[in-house]
Structure 1
Amino acid sequence: MEWVVIVSVLVMTILSLLRVNVIIAIIIAALTAGVMSDLSIVESIDMLVEGMGGQANTALSYILLGAFAVAISYTGITAVLVNYLIKVLTGKKTMLVLTIAGVASLSQNLVPVHIAFIPILIPPLLKLFDEMRLDRRAVATALTFGLKTPYMVVPAGFGLIFHETIVNGMIQNGAELTMKEAALSMIIPGLGMVLGLLIAIFITYRKEREAIPGAGGTGSIINVPDTTDMTFNRQHALTLVAIVAALIVQIMTKNLIAGALTGLILMFVFLVVPYKNGDKIVAEGVSMMGTIAFVMLVASGFGNVLQQTGAVDALVEASSGLLSSSKLMIAFVLLLVGLVITMGIGSSFGTIPIIAALFVPILTTAGFSPLATASLIGTAGALGDAGSPASDSTLGPTSGLNADGKHNHIWDTCVPTFIHFNIPLFIFGLIAAMVL
């Protein structure tokens, strides 16, 4: 039974690398897990569908955020920002990528919109990327860095949710931890993420690269009018009001759906977007974010199959036999388990409660400190988020970079982010476990 998680995740990964559609790959992986757990194909499908509701809230959020992003782009306000970036950063590839990483970082804590900014900002910049012959894999790593590192390290916005999940997971399983300690425990793993970003930008993807038409399948840029000479106007001011209102509602209600719906409604109320274009805007939003939303739903179903069949418990149970081993070996194996689980489920936030219940008893018995335990749980949860075909940290960047069909989700986003973030995160997670 302990091999079910490993084999099913390998099936998903191999199929994805062979360019099989990620949704099909996840479904086949889920059926593999079900059959290996002595379920029939039909029972496996039922369990998969049953678990899809676990991400229904997130899926609807992404679709509404997609529609909101299209409405914002329709006003041309994105062009004002893009024109400024073109004037200031043309020819400065490294600075452009670092700026994108910085903007992405704001999306987790200061302005918690998560991936919603990507389809607003990135598609209009694709032409500039091509003119500069900028390697889009560098941009993908920069975006994923900004989507992951801030929530791992800073206890605000999405980071507050992440750290609260670690603290609650430890307390519920008999270990004491404060929010301050949770933040301290993730500093060293966060440094691993910084190192991975610098290697990607300054070494791996520094050379020029031509984007190949058709490399990523079909894609279509958001319809934005010619805005070469556009300057900031009243429409843009009202758009900013709608954005701020959406953020305020989101923060107050802690609900992405309420925030996105508020922003979208205000865009129509302010007549920034003509009411007659409502159907078109929502349709484009669904087209843009629908795939991500559905992948998240199927990934949630896959996670449900792994949990309900007891495959995850069995995997960790098998790992617990290492209690007589060295602390380094225990940390190594548990991080490996976290990597496999998160690669399958595709969500660090969804993985933390599972692995906390399994890791805390093992790590406490082995003599790890609360800080080291928190660091291992947080790192194990974050591992696999970058590189997983089902993670919004990879799906988000691809949604923007493949708007013109020149960016492949697996080879241009998942593989680069896996190499540059999961490897250093694994190493720095081990270091944190040993020194804290």
Structure 2
Amino acid sequence: MNVVLALLCAALVAGLGSGLDLAATLSAFCDGLGDGANIALSYALLGAFAVAIARSGITEWLAGRIIVRLGGSPAPTQLRRIRTLVLTVLLAAAIMSQNLVPIHIAFIPILVPPLLEVMHQLKLDRRLAACVLTFGLITPYMVLPVGFGSIFLHTQLGPSMAKAGLALDKADLPIAMILPAAGMVLGLLLAFVRYRKPRDYQPVQLPGEEQHAPLSTRNVVVAATALAAALILQLYSDSIILGALVGFLVFTAGGVVPWKESQDAFTQGVKMMSLIGFIMIAANGYASVVQAGGQVPVLVEAVTSGLQSPPLAAALLLLLGLFVTLGIGSSFSTIPIIATLYVPLCVALGFSPLATAALVGSAAALGDAGSPASDSTLGPTAGLNADGQHDHIRDTVIPTFIHYNLPLMAAGWLAAMVL
């Protein structure tokens, strides 16, 4: 079933099943739609920006240089080396996007589509690329208290637990998340093993590819200016929309995208990213209905009522966190919801403060990978599906669910037991 339709149906079931009438359910859904509009418009503008970059000829040149190094019949060792290089670039970019240069998924529509032809030549399984990107988008914020990690640990996890009655020192929060993060590392290693075999794709054809300009000094200067302007403005204003907009306008003013063709380029970029935007909008509407229904506390109480076994309670709390985050699609949005419910229960069952932090943090992060509505899966799909050969559910959601949610559940449970 289409993800947008699934979210709409789930919102109706959640609202009507929780006792809201149809009008209240639709009202709550519509109230939440606006929360997803910002990211949806950001994706649309990033798609236009990515098409403009492609038309500059730089992306073709970059991919072409790597393909030339492959040669006519490259040796297996050379193939492995270039394959490792491509995956390392993706992993490094994803990690830096969380902490060093906190632009989150904004880099994916720009960096990944030009590399699709290289992946085609290497017969690289894009499911592995999706796992690499999702790992880099999630694991750093779990343990590194800078950039998005500072938001996750110091703005969300710590204050939410303190509000629920359990205060921890800021320095203790990364320690609590080390074991859960180790579970993510294990999942990544298993993905390298599982998706190591070659996988064939059709020759890559990206939107606007037939109109790419030959690489020239002017195009390089304009592209460098556009990229720098987009990055600086985004960091200064904390707005992906403004950065992508100015970057696209620089390409237009510089003549890389002629003014008469700017409408076509913009439309192609929006088409490339439109489904992702609609999913994000629908996901926020769904999350609004879930919160309005007020049934998450009832669910936790029903499942954990009467429990006296800490190991069983920890497993059930992690499982509940997985379901909540899978639907909402954001670990950052999930923390305030579950911390209020989990902290008193963990204290009553005798969990240490570090173990409680590990449980709450892991339960929130669970489902960020593997959720159809999470930007940590939507972002990789947006780049890897630029040519229409990467299915969001089969090639991103299911692989990341298997390789990250299952190890993270085990590692989060272990952390709750040993800390």
TM norm structure 2? 0.89
- Residue 19 of structure 2: aligned partner: 38
Q: Which position in structure 2 is the counterpart of 1:241? A: 225
| Per-residue deviation, 1:68 | 2.2
Residue of structure 2 in register with 1:155 after alignment: 145
What is residue 126 of structure 1 aligned with on the other side? 116
Q: 1:71 to 1:180 in 2, by over 3 A?
A: farther
In the alignment, structure 1 residue 410 sits paired with structure 2 residue 393: yes
Report the CA distance between 1:94 and its aligned residue.
4.2
Report if the CA contact (8 A) 2:55-2:211 is conserved.
no
Which residue does 1:393 correspond to in 2?
376
**Residue type of the alignment partner of 1:51:** G
> Which residue is equivalent to 2:175?
184
Of the structure 1 ranges 345-354 and 63-72, higher mean CA displacement relative to structure 2 is found in: 63-72
- Once the two structures are superposed, residues 189-245 of structure 1 have per-residue CA deviations (whole angstroms, 9 ceiling, x without a partner) of 1111111111111x21111222379xxxxx9723236879847x3432332233233
Equivalent-residue separation in structure 2 for 1:76 and 1:147 (angstroms) = 28
| Identical positions, percent | 50
Does residue 99 in structure 1 map to residue 84 in structure 2?
Answer: no
Deviation at 1:22, TM superposition (A): 0.7
Instruction: Output one character per residue of 1:293-337: Cα deviation in whole Å (capped at 9) or x when no partner.
Output: 1111111111111111112121122244255222x2221111111
User: Does the 8 A contact of 2:55 with 2:213 survive in 1?
Assistant: no
* 1:348-427 aligned within 5 A: 348-427=331-410
* Aligned-partner SS, 2:93: helix
Q: Does 1:115 align with 2:96?
A: no
1:259 corresponds in structure 2 to 243
RMSD between superposed Cα atoms in Å: 2.5
Letter aligned with residue 223 of structure 1: G
One-letter amino acid of the structure 1 residue matched with residue 289 of structure 2 = V
Partner of 1:51: 32
Report the AA paired with residue 259 of structure 1.
Answer: G
* Cα pair 1:397 1:413 within 8 Å, conserved: yes
1:209 to 1:237, Cα distance in 2 relative to 1, 3 A: same
* Matching of residue 138 in structure 1 with residue 122 in structure 2: no
- Check 1:330–1:132 CA distance in 2 against 1; reply closer, same or farther (3 A cut): same
* 1:151/1:79 CA distance change after superposition, 3 Å: farther
State the SS of the aligned residue for 1:179.
coil
The residue type equivalent to 2:140 in the other structure is P
Task: Indicate conservation of the 8 Å contact 1:123/1:222, yes or no.
Answer: no
- The answer on whether the counterparts of 1:299 and 1:344 sit within 8 Å (CA) in structure 2 is yes
Does the 8 Å contact 2:123/2:200 carry over to 1? Answer: yes
Matched residues, number? 409
Match of 1:300 in 2: 284
Match of 1:6 in 2: none
Summarize deviations over 1:396-420 as a string: whole Å, max 9, x none.
Answer: 2122222222222111111111000
Cα deviation for residue 87 of structure 1 reads 4.9
CA distance change for structure 1 residues 234 and 160 in 2, over 3 Å: closer, same or farther?
farther
**Pairwise CA distance, 1:187:** 1.8
Which of 241, 246, 266 is 1:282 aligned to?
266
* 1:204 equivalent in alignment to 2:232: no
Superposition deviation, residue 56 in structure 1? 2.2
Q: How much has 1:421 moved relative to structure 2?
A: 0.6
Instruction: Note closer, same or farther for the CA distance 1:147–1:47 as it changes in structure 2 (3 Å cut).
Output: same
Task: Give the unaligned 5+ runs of structure 1.
Answer: 1-19, 214-218
Q: Secondary structure of 2:171's match?
A: helix
Deviation at 1:58, TM superposition (A): 2.1
1:66 aligns with 2:47: yes
CA change 1:80–1:116 in 2 (3 A) is farther
Query: Would you say 1:169 and 2:171 are equivalent positions?
Result: no
- Residue among 193, 208, 217 paired with 1:223: 208
Alpha-carbon spacing, 1:298–1:227, altered in 2? closer, same or farther (3 Å): closer
Distance 2:246 2:150 in 1: 23
Determine the C-alpha separation between the residues in 2 that align with 1:220 and 1:297. 28
The structure-2 alpha-carbon separation of the partners of 1:267 and 1:169, relative to structure 1 and needing over 3 Å to count, comes to farther
Q: Are 2:62 and 1:81 aligned?
A: yes
Q: Matches of residues 320-331 of structure 1 in structure 2 within 5 Å?
A: 320-326=304-310, 328-331=311-314
In structure 2, give the amino acid aligned to 1:375: A
* Aligned AA (1:176): A
Q: Is the 8 A contact 1:70 1:222 kept in 2?
A: yes
- 1:343, distance to aligned residue in structure 2 (A): 0.5
Instruction: Tell which deviates more after alignment, 251-260 or 355-364.
Output: 251-260
Deviation, 1:393, is 1.3
